[in-house]
């Protein structure tokens, strides 16, 4: 990266030449051209949550929650690098055509590193799950991949939504997320801190809500004291879109647009995704804000554009358009989709043996649904492969595939004027004629998503229940009565109440939103071309009754770290087609550096090649401030041939030995610890499901 001090000084000199009107013209996401100073116009708004979004063709990866289930920092960084490459290629082509429209720039407003604290939150599938450590590690990897390690930024990542933001969608413009200091620093802030300090993320986006009374995009506590003060953040801060107008329209903490603009800018919000900063010039004239504060914001914005090489020749200028959706990138997206799928149950039916099957029924509203492949914040694919199409392509003409939609995703009537359940009879007929039934159910981004998003205009927002829609439950129950061999493919972006399905299905796959060609990946898993290897980044609760009130931001009874009830499918859980286990583990401690290292022998005792995720959890045995259960502190994905064993080393961060007290201070509070090393977390339910217990290592700090 170019010398930061030199770039900051260069930006400062350029801003010093601007008039107040010219400065304020840079403060909204549609930054105007200043021709006399050689500054072109620039639209800051672009998205790349799981592929370059909203600007035409791009490689489509699994939705973020699916990528999280891979538990692989290296692969995550590789995916983000591919996305940055395509972003640069599209940007270079846009400049050649003098197209500076929205979604054509290099400032990607991702990743979403909020904590998925409640499975009812509609945007949870944009995140990396419920655990702060996993979210931090994957967030850092994604940021590093997007930004690259060159002289200039390859693209600019943006960590969002800062902070304490995970619903409700309907009330986000006026909601106050009240949170304790302990929960704030233990759960909601660690991923942001890691992305700022370790990954040097270039952008941070404020949230819509208030946190402990302060609107996040105008919070002196969050933006000045923590972000720029304690963490030393030196990039740009952008508001969520329309969030500053909420100050006076919904939060009622200001009375006018000028006051809102002044509040946000003085707190350190540099860029307005919206139009309220059009009032900044008047706010200066009215004495609500100083021109020096405007200078500071514009300097941050110009410095970011300089770090992206927008005022120079840059090493990324020659990335060609041909890289967009090239075969190498498509292969990576299929690999990610395969590795993201989580096998939740298997009584031996999987993998399917084509030699023993003559007829298959593929049933359900997500069997041939392209929308479920896209998720939200998506780009366009030149080809989509649904689950039905993936299965048809895999079996060819050798096996008859019967298909029935069975039901709509949420409506119980497919055709106008028909009686409820008008497709169930067809589904039963298909199932009766088949040797195996594959039920493809779930949701899509029209049902769980962002409030007000154009993609979700009918059913946007949060979920009232963890159950599948009634139309689908009726379908599943009707087909299940046939007692045929049945496999459930659940395509959701969040945890689902699958108690009935767990009891009645022979196998259950959590497919998430797998990307444009996800159907091929599912077929590869179903027919044993590879072993499933995903792990759950969220807890699958048994029902909504196991959850606290949705509006309560306390972590009590939330996520695997704090819950006291038994999960249906626990965080970190996922099966393979082989028998993989951790044979032995030992701990070493470097007293000079304070580093804990776990050495583990991993073995594949089965007959199939597989990949496994070794997980390490830590528990402070003495501190009253420790989480009630334990916390993830290390993980590593390992590829094993049948019969192979490997010795792996996992470095544990020194923060694993620390607790966060009631004042939000992270500190060492004990010398007595337990570490658990295995292929799942050390809870009784995981052990019952897998037949394995993690290795327990006691450790007394010298």
Q: Which two tokens stand for residue 535?
A: 């792990």
Phi-psi region of 557 (alpha: psi -120 to 50; beta: other; left: phi over 0): left
Strand 666-668 and strand 30-31: pairing?
unpaired
Q: Which two tokens stand for residue 582?
A: 């951790």
Which is nearest to 184 in space by CA: 219, 222, 218? Answer: 222
Distances (CA, A) of 207 to 123, 160, 173: 13, 7, 9
CA–CA separation, 584 and 203 (whole Å): 43
CA–CA separation, 493 and 445 (whole Å): 8
Residue 88: alpha-carbon gap to chain centroid:
22
Distances (CA, A) of 396 to 274, 351, 388, 392, 393: 51, 17, 12, 6, 5
Please provide the DSSP assignment of 135-181 as one string. Answer: HHHHHHHHHHHHH-SSSS-SSB-EEEEESS----STTTTT-EE---H
Q: 47 with 376: CB under 8 angstroms?
A: no
CA atoms within 13 Å, Cβ hemisphere of 459: 12
The full 3-state SS of 303-370, as one line of letters, equals: HHHHHCCCCCCCCCCCCCHHHCCCHHHHHHHHHHHHHHCEEEEECCCCCCCHHHCCEEEEECCCCCCC
Whose structure tokens read 């334990």? 630
- Number of neighbouring beta carbons within 10 Å of residue 383: 10
Which is nearest to 197 in space by CA: 159, 166, 224, 161? Answer: 159
Classify residue 140 by its DSSP letter.
H
**Which residues make beta-bridge pairs with 678?**
615
Q: 144 with 80: CB under 8 angstroms?
A: yes
Q: 98 with 41: CB under 8 angstroms?
A: no
CA–CA separation, 42 and 52 (whole Å): 18
Q: What is the CA radius of gyration of the chain?
A: 26
Q: What angle do CA 335, 340, 344 make, to 5 degrees?
A: 135
Whose structure tokens read 């009590």? 556
CA–CA separation, 462 and 456 (whole Å): 11
Residue 291: alpha-carbon gap to chain centroid:
38
Q: Which two tokens stand for residue 700?
A: 């007394």
The kind and range of the H/E element at 426 are helix 424-432
Which is nearest to 233 in space by CA: 260, 273, 206, 262? Answer: 206
**Catalytic site residues?**
240, 448
């Amino acid at each position: 990266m170019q010398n930061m001090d030199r770039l900051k000084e260069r930006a400062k000199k350029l801003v010093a030449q601007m008039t107040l009107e010219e400065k304020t013209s840079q403060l909204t996401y549609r930054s105007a051209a200043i021709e006399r100073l050689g500054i072109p116009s620039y639209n800051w708004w672009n998205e790349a949550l799981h592929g370059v979004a909203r600007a035409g063709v791009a490689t489509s990866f699994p939705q973020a929650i699916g990528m999280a289930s891979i538990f692989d920092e290296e692969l995550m960084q590789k995916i983000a690098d591919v996305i940055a490459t395509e972003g640069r290629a599209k940007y270079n082509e846009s400049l050649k055509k003098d197209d500076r429209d929205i979604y054509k720039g290099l400032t990607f407003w991702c990743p979403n590193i909020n904590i998925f604290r409640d499975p009812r939150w509609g945007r949870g599938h944009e995140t990396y799950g419920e655990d702060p450590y996993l979210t931090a590690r994957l967030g850092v990897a994604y940021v590093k991949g997007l930004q690259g390690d060159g002289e200039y930024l390859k693209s600019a990542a943006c960590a969002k939504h800062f902070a304490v933001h995970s619903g409700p969608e309907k009330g986000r413009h006026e909601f106050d997320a009240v949170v304790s200091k302990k929960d704030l620093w233990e759960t909601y802030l660690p991923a942001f801190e890691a992305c700022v300090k370790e990954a040097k993320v270039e952008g941070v986006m404020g949230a819509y809500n208030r946190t402990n009374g302060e609107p996040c995009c105008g919070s002196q506590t969050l933006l000045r004291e923590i972000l720029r003060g304690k963490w030393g953040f030196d990039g740009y801060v952008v508001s969520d879109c329309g969030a500053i107008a909420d100050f006076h329209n919904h939060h009622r903490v200001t009375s006018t647009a000028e006051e809102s603009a002044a509040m946000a800018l003085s707190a350190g919000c540099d860029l307005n995704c919206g139009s309220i900063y059009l009032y900044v010039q008047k706010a200066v004239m009215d004495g609500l804000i100083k021109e020096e504060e405007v200078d500071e914001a514009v300097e941050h914005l110009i410095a970011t554009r300089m770090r992206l090489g927008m005022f120079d020749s840059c090493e990324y200028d020659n990335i060609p358009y041909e890289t967009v959706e090239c075969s190498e990138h498509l292969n990576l997206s299929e690999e990610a989709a395969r590795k993201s799928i989580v096998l939740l149950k298997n009584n031996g039916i999987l993998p399917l043996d084509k030699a023993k099957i003559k007829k298959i029924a593929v049933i359900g509203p997500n069997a041939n649904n392209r929308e479920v492949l896209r998720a939200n914040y998506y780009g366009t694919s030149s080809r989509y492969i649904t689950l039905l199409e993936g299965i048809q392509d895999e079996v060819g003409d050798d096996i008859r595939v019967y298909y029935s939609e069975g039901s709509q995703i949420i409506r119980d009537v497919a055709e106008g004027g028909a009686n409820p359940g008008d497709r169930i009879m067809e589904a039963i007929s298909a199932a009766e004629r088949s040797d195996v039934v594959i039920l493809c159910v779930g949701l899509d981004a029209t049902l769980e998503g962002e409030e007000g998003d154009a993609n979700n205009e009918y059913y946007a927002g949060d979920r009232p229940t963890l159950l599948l829609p009634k139309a689908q439950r009726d379908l599943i129950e009707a087909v299940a009565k046939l007692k045929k061999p049945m496999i459930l493919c659940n395509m959701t972006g969040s945890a689902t109440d699958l108690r009935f399905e767990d009891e009645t299905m022979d196998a259950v796959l959590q497919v998430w939103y797998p990307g444009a060609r996800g159907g091929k990946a599912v077929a590869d898993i179903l027919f044993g071309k590879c072993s499933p290897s995903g792990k759950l980044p969220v807890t699958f609760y048994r029902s909504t009754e196991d959850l606290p009130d949705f509006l309560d931001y306390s972590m009590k009874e939330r996520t695997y770290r704090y819950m006291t009830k038994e999960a249906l499918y626990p965080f970190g859980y996922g099966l393979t087609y082989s028998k993989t286990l951790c044979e032995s583990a030992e701990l070493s401690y470097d007293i000079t550096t304070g580093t804990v290292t776990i050495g583990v022998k991993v073995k594949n005792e089965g007959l199939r090649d597989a990949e496994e995720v070794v997980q390490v959890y830590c528990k402070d045995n003495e501190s009253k401030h420790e989480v009630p259960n334990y916390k993830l502190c290390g993980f590593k994905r390992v590829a094993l041939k049948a019969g192979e064993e490997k010795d792996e080393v996992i470095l544990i961060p020194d923060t694993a030995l620390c607790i966060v007290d009631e004042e939000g201070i992270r500190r060492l509070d004990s010398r007595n610890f337990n570490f658990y090393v295995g292929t799942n977390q050390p809870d009784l339910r995981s052990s019952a499901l897998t037949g394995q217990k993690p290795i327990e290592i006691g450790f007394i700090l010298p």
